[in-house]
Amino acid sequence: MARVLVIGSGIAGLVAAAEAARTHDVVLATKGDLGLSNTRYAQGGIAAVMFAEDDVAAHIADTLTAGAGLCDPEAVRVLCTEGPARIRDLVAAGVEFDMAGGRFAQGLEAAHSFPRVLHAGGDATGARIEAALTAQVRASAVAIHENTFLTDLVVADGRVVGASLLDGAGHVLEVRADAVVLATGGAGQLYPYTSNPAVATGDGAAAAARAGAALADLEFYQFHPTTLALPGNFLVSEAVRGEGAVLRDADGERFMLAVHPDAELAPRDVVARAVADRMAATGAPVYLDATAFGADALAHRFPSIDAAVRAAGLDWARTPVPITPAAHYWMGGVATDLLGRTSLPGLYAVGEVARTGVHGANRLASNSLLEGAVFAHRAVRALANPDAAGPWPAGGSVAASATGSLRAVPAPRGAGDGPSEAAPFSRAAVQDLMWDAVGLRRHGVGLARAAQTFDAWAASTPAPHSPAEHEDANLLLLARLTARAALARTESVGAHFRTDEPLGTRSAAQPTAMAVGAC
């Protein structure tokens, strides 16, 4: 029986572990407690075609439109076609989705042409999914290692054969495996304002990069338009706007009506930039107005958000609440084919850490949980018979088919010979520079200077030892790669907006990809 090491315990990692345990010896390592992940904090829901009035073709079209021309159509077809079966799997695992009128309750979110978003516990969808899958994995034969930190992948003869881990006592463990499945999530901690939990430091993507795996589309980081403008940036789900809440500036103007035909339900990148622009133009906050619902309706439909808002001393049933964009989801990551395979034999990647091609330049709301379930399931199928899958990549194009190396990214021009008066390296310094130069709006000069500063910090930073130091090193590596990717993509598209290149200048829809040995 082959051994499979799964790293991470969001929806992708838990599905992979539970499915693989049917036929493999499975070890699951996770950075915190089992189930501590971005999945737990997902509020809005999970999108899938579960209604007779809806159809897969419409879900595909919505996903492609939101992705701004950079989705892999075959990956999108797989996601939307196989999505309903994965919803049924979740129900079988014990997820109790909200019901209305004898069928799943329907939610509408931005850029969907049909209310196909399923939710559980009102706005606790991710937490309910996480709880059910965690119970399923605990009841299986999976060997679970909690509070265990991934430091590096182990590579032998060009193949990933395991991983080096730090346990909670600081002991180094080397776990050997026939296959390693990365399910480590995103890297919201690249930014000072994020909806992600503290564990989202991109450890899997960084480890894959150091091992030589191809990464792609790192410049596409999605900023959620509505997080509370308070410390912690608590997420206020897009489903709130889907139910009818609107955005207003400090003068009470509903400004999104003049920005996009879909107003508050425009694609996330459009809404996030519009909110940031209005804040910059007025020097005042932007507000989410949900007062039309009434207190009882808000508490019933959005119990988690309602509790958080009220805990912050705000009464959103009576007064609009201040919001701000914050880093939310990484469309890029470790390049995979449609079976979860990476450019390194023996290494698979699923969930937010992977770049499957599903999301393109801008993820469609509530497709993230679905992607984790669909592609984790496909990866386990590939594990069962890796030789039958054919050469990598299989089942569709991947970003790595156009890879260069980091050295191939054009050298910065017009930005001087290096950073001037750069702040000393720290996580906060990385986050601030990412927000300023590699955030919602970017410019070539700022990107070049940021890349140079990140390079200078990397050259002078000592080797990490503690988990916190490893996290900082991972964030710095990913900041370097993201800044270079953003510099290389000169056109504005989706979540990547260059103020020195207007929208509409995008040429061929080619992914920005790189092998990372140059770091």
Q: Which pair of structure tokens corresponds to residue 197?
A: 């939990």
What would the pLDDT profile of 131-189 be if each residue is shown by its tens digit?
999 999 999 999 999 999 999 999 999 999 999 999 988 899 999 999 999 999 999 99
Residue 254 pLDDT exceeds 60: yes
| Per-residue pLDDT reduced to its tens digit, 188-209 | 999 999 999 999 999 999 999 9
Matching CATH topology for 3-148+331-400 and 225-327?
no
Write down the domain spans for the chain: 3-148+331-400, 225-327, 410-515
Class of residue 352 by CB neighbours under 10 A (exposed 0-12, middle 13-18, buried 19+): buried
Average pLDDT over residues 78-100: 97
Measure the CA angle with vertex 285, ends 444 and 361; round to 5°.
40
- Among 3.30.230.10, 1.10.15.40, 3.40.50.720, 3.50.50.60, name the CATH number for the domain at 3-148+331-400: 3.50.50.60
- Average pLDDT, stretch 366-395? 86
Beta-sheet strands, E only, within 185-265? 214-216, 221-228, 246-248
Task: Name the pLDDT band for 330 (thresholds 50, 70, 90).
Answer: very high
**pLDDT category, 37, cuts 50, 70, 90?**
confident
Contacts for 413 with CB less than 8 Å, ≥ 6 apart: 448
Q: Is the model more confident about 410 or about 126? A: 126
Q: Tell me what percent of the residues of the chain surpass a pLDDT of 90.
A: 83
Mean pLDDT of 212-231: 96
Establish whether 273 is a catalytic residue.
no
Class (C level, CATH) for 225-327? alpha beta
pLDDT at 36: 85
Pairwise CA distance, residues 489 & 409, whole Å: 10
The pLDDT of residue 506 is above 50: no
Q: What is the mean pLDDT of residues 89-114?
A: 95
pLDDT bin (cut points 50, 70, 90) of residue 400 is very low
Q: Can you give the pLDDT at residue 418?
A: 39
Angle at CA of residue 287, ends 285 and 293, nearest 5°:
165
Q: Using 50, 70 and 90 to split pLDDT, how confident is the model at 503?
A: low
Residue 1 has a pLDDT of 62
How many CB atoms sit inside 10 A of residue 458's CB? 15
| Residue 61, CA atoms < 13 Å, CB-side half-sphere | 8
Contact (Cβ atoms closer than 8 angstroms) between residue 457 and residue 422: yes
310/353 Cα distance (integer angstroms): 33
For residues 450-475, average pLDDT: 95
Per the confidence metrics, is the pTM higher than 0.85? yes
What does each C-alpha distance from 190 to 94, 338, 434, 435, 436 come to in angstroms? Answer: 34, 27, 7, 8, 12
Higher pLDDT, 71 or 409: 71
Q: Look at the alpha carbons of 255, 257, 261, 266 in this order and tell me if their dihedral is positive or negative.
A: positive
Residue 57 scores a pLDDT above 90 = yes
373 and 11 in contact (C-beta within 8 Å)?
A: yes
| pLDDT tens, residue by residue, 411-430 | 223 333 334 456 799 999 99
Mean pLDDT over all residues of the chain?
A: 90
pLDDT of res. 410: 31
Pick from 217, 185, 219, 218: nearest CA to 202:
185
| Helices and strands (H and E) in the chain: how many | 13, 21
CATH annotation of 410-515: 1.20.58.100
Catalytic position from the list 40, 86, 116, 268: 268
Residue 85: both structure tokens together: 């079966």
Task: Provide the pLDDT confidence category of residue 516 given band limits of 50, 70 and 90.
Answer: very low
